[in-house]
Amino acid sequence: MLRISLAGLRAHKVRLLMTGLAIVLGVGFIAGTFVLTDSMQAGIDEEFAGSASRVDVGVLPRKGRERLPASTVQAVRGVPGVTGVHGLIRGDAALIGKDGKAYGDMPTVGLSVTQGELQRYDITSGRAPGAPDEVVLDEKTAARNGFGVGATVTVLDGGGARHSFTVTGLADFGIDSEVSFRGAVGFTPETAARMTGEPDPVEIDIAGSGDPRALRDAVAAAVGGGHDVLDGGALSDRLATKAGADTTIIRTVLLLFAMVAMLVSALVIYNTFAILVAQRMREMALLRCVGATRRQIFTGVLAESAVVGLVASLAGLALGVALAGGLLALIGDRSGDIPGGDLTLTPLAVAVGLGVGVVVTVLSALLPARSATRVAPVAALRTELEPGSARFRLGLPRWILTALLGAGGLGAAGLGALVLDKGPTAMFVVAGGGVLVFLAVIAVMPALVRPLSRVAGALPARLAGVPGRLAVANARRSPRRTATTTIALTIGVGLMSLFAVITAGGRATADAQLAEQFPVDFQLNGQFTTSDRAWQLVPSEVAAGLRARPEVADVVELRIHRVRNDRGATRPVGAVTPSALGGLINPRVDGGSLDDLTSGTVAVRTDNARHQGYEVGDTVTIPTRQGQTRLKVVALFADGTPLPPYVVPEQDFTRYFGPQGAEVVYLNVADGVDPDRALEVVEQVAAPYPTVKVTSATALKEQFNEAVDTMLMVVGGLLGLAVIIALFGIANTLSLSVVERTRESALLRALGVTRAQLRLMLSMEAVIMAVIGAVTGVVLGVAFGWAATESMADSAVAAVPYAQIAGLMALAAVAGLAASVLPARRAARTSVVESLTYD
């Protein structure tokens, strides 16, 4: 039987090609994920190992502390055998760009860079700083600001004073997520402490001579308890973990998409083997006549699937390595944060790739193999109707199962979207409902094929005449086969539609909140400082200067003071320009009235009030300069605005906490003023204050939309592989159907159907199948995308991106048409005479 199975593979190698391609793509995705993440992790480990190799002993603060006492550095210097000590200083040091404004939304990271044996950072150009007026910049920061070696730069110290430095070099600060986001400026250790205002180091690097273990023990004894003293290898591991250099999350996300691709591949494989078994019914019956047992037939089909799975998985493994190499090169070109290196192919990647490919293929062939054992030997003596051509009817058990799954899924989706409190729990309930409804669709799809084919084929039948009507009839002929083919496409299109609706809802929610609760033209704010964990304040002179300009209509200052209670928890208390409430800033009021916000009262955000048990009329106690102050709750307002959880009148705020600048200043342009002219005026007023940034509402919206579009593009690209595999399934089904209907096609040709009409018939059949799958996927995706959006938050706005959905439908139809090209060409080329004598 093994020889017969291998001979069958050689005889039907073209028929199995599409199946092999589906496995190749799925396994390539999985293997590529492992190779990519393993290579990235290897590069990360190498990066940190190389950095820490210059350090014999490192001292780090224990968990829960951020810094080491400065006195610890002096204690370490006196340890016998220590030849070098570097207390690594780290803090905020804002770099001023060429536009006169502080670079970035957060100050650049100020780092101490030493020379000699403990210089851990790679100076890619120039040299490390050696004097108080010298600095190095990280490469990306220098490139984005147009600074090079020899340039003069301005850096702000902790008090906002300006200092000029000469750039002596450009540095690669390694894998540091904070440096990657904020940029970095490297000083000499003494200058770093002065500029950042942080004399205490975050790490002490030590070089020494003699036995490393003895040196570590001596350093540990000198610094005392409360610190972690590590050798170079342990320091490398600790720094990698602290930097978040872990590819587990990336691997998990990619593998989730790979599992979707493999699920679609399994459907394609199942359909292929089901058709092959049906076409080889007489062949298997003849084997039974000559003595083959049911077990041998079953084993033979599974052997074929195992061979196909193994060969395709090997090809998929090679494809995965190639894909990982290309992606790694692309990531390395786009981001300097991922260290380059050789591709890493681990035994785990090989085992998982081959194992998943073979197992999925064999499991997908189980049902077709089982049906092969039911072929009676007498079937070899008669001509059977085309399997699956009889009218499909749902049995009572399947109807019951479909009804239970559908009702349960729709009920769960409705419960999560309309009844439960918005949040993660409701979203998980909606997701569970979506899975149940999808299973119901799988169960009922064969019964839906006929009516859906009639609807999807109405226009082709009218436009294409006889070929169109024949295409509709062919699509309806084998309901099980068509259902399995279209379900594969439904998965990919459904998930893409789901993400499109969710992202459209996110965009609509942001626009609605911006328009209704935050209708401003510009906002001004400072940088976010890590030392204070707060935004730098906008000086009151800025707001005063803006109010004096005729181009500006409304100026609103939002002040926030963070008070701590007895348990150390932070409670933000704020004040806003009185005229803004209900106008420029318009929160939804859930209780009381903002008009009652007078001296001695407070408005509380609804979620905080619910958590603390406050209601309108209750009393809230907050600490102020004068001590504890009791305030009456007069209003509860919903989230979705920039207001802090507690809002008091502006005069009370100044009395409670003293005069201070605003965290944010909002403004609207006067009627009739050109927005570009208004922007010039605002930037002119803010120019003397380098940390004050000006942002327009339009720019904020564009930034959000750009982020959403990027996410949608990435998700669409990952799910696109599942759609491609599903299209291979359509092409495979058509190819096998062409073989199956050879005599039928020849008879049509003999009756006058031209080659062009035959090609048109098969093309329309593919388009009908693609449209059925796409429509089903779009309906499911839009419905559960809406439910998921509704379950996220009370302020969420559901939206359907009609243009994207229409484009997705059109793309599916065009892709289905493309999938039919080769099968249609083959059918049209077949000789009529030879086909009519085909047996």
Per-residue pLDDT band at 527 (split at 50, 70, 90): confident
User: Considering only 475-484, 585-594, 667-676, 781-790, which range has the smallest mean pLDDT?
Assistant: 475-484
CA distances from 560 to 585, 603, 668 (A): 15, 14, 21
Q: Is-contact 319 24, C-beta < 8 A?
A: yes
CA distance 325 to 39: 9
Residues 460 and 599 in one domain: no
Q: What is the pLDDT of residue 91?
A: 92
Residues 78 and 155 in one domain: yes
Residue 457 is assigned to a structural domain of this protein: yes
Alpha helices of 365-395 — where are they, by DSSP H? 366-372
Residues 665 and 615 in one domain: yes
Residue 454 is assigned to a structural domain of this protein: yes
Across the range 240-256, mean pLDDT stands at 66
Residues 674 and 710 in one domain: no
Residue 602 is assigned to a structural domain of this protein: yes
**Alpha-carbon Rg of the chain, whole angstroms?**
35
Considering its fold, how many domains does the chain have in total? 3
Residues 826 and 803 in one domain: yes
Residues 667 and 603 in one domain: yes
CA distance 309 to 27: 10
pLDDT at 534 over 60: yes
Q: Which residue has the higher pLDDT, 734 or 142?
A: 142
- Which residue range is the domain that position 470 belongs to? 445-519+697-839
Q: Which of 202, 221, 242 is the last residue of a domain?
A: 242
Residues 232 and 168 in one domain: yes
Residues 745 and 682 in one domain: no
Residues 177 and 82 in one domain: yes
Q: What is the pLDDT of residue 386?
A: 45
Spatial CA neighbour of 392 closest among 316, 444, 436: 444
pLDDT tens sequence across 133-187: 999 999 999 999 999 999 999 999 988 899 999 999 999 887 677 888 889 999 9
Per-residue pLDDT band at 36 (split at 50, 70, 90): confident
CA distance 509 to 503: 10
CA distance 249 to 253: 6
Three-class SS state of 724: helix
Backbone φ, ψ for residue 230 (5° rounding): -125, 150
Residue 113 is assigned to a structural domain of this protein: yes
Q: What is the pLDDT of residue 64?
A: 67
CA angle 35–38–42, rounded 5-degree value: 135
Residue 529 is assigned to a structural domain of this protein: no
Q: Which amino acid is at 454?
A: R
Token reading at 485: 């083919």
CA distances from 678 to 299, 540, 625, 669, 674 (A): 79, 20, 39, 7, 6
Token reading at 89: 């200083």
Q: Which segments of 767-831 are extended strands (E)?
A: none
Residues 480 and 583 in one domain: no
pLDDT tens sequence across 629-675: 899 999 999 887 788 899 999 889 989 988 888 888 988 889 888 88
CA distances from 588 to 386, 591, 619, 701 (A): 65, 9, 22, 21
Residue 254 is assigned to a structural domain of this protein: no
CA distance 513 to 588: 11
The torsion of the CA quartet 694, 699, 703, 706, rounded to 10 degrees, works out to: -160
Q: Which of 188, 207, 242 is the last residue of a domain?
A: 242
CA distance 19 to 264: 11
Residue 661 is assigned to a structural domain of this protein: yes
Residues 804 and 735 in one domain: yes
Residues 650 and 588 in one domain: yes
Q: Which of 208, 242, 276 is the last residue of a domain?
A: 242
CA distance 560 to 661: 9
Q: What is the pLDDT of residue 49?
A: 57
Q: What is the pLDDT of residue 819?
A: 80
User: Considering only 38-52, 128-142, 230-244, 545-559, which range has the smallest mean pLDDT?
Assistant: 38-52
pTM: predicted TM-score of the whole model, two decimal places: 0.69
Residue 123 is assigned to a structural domain of this protein: yes
Q: What is the pLDDT of residue 681?
A: 92
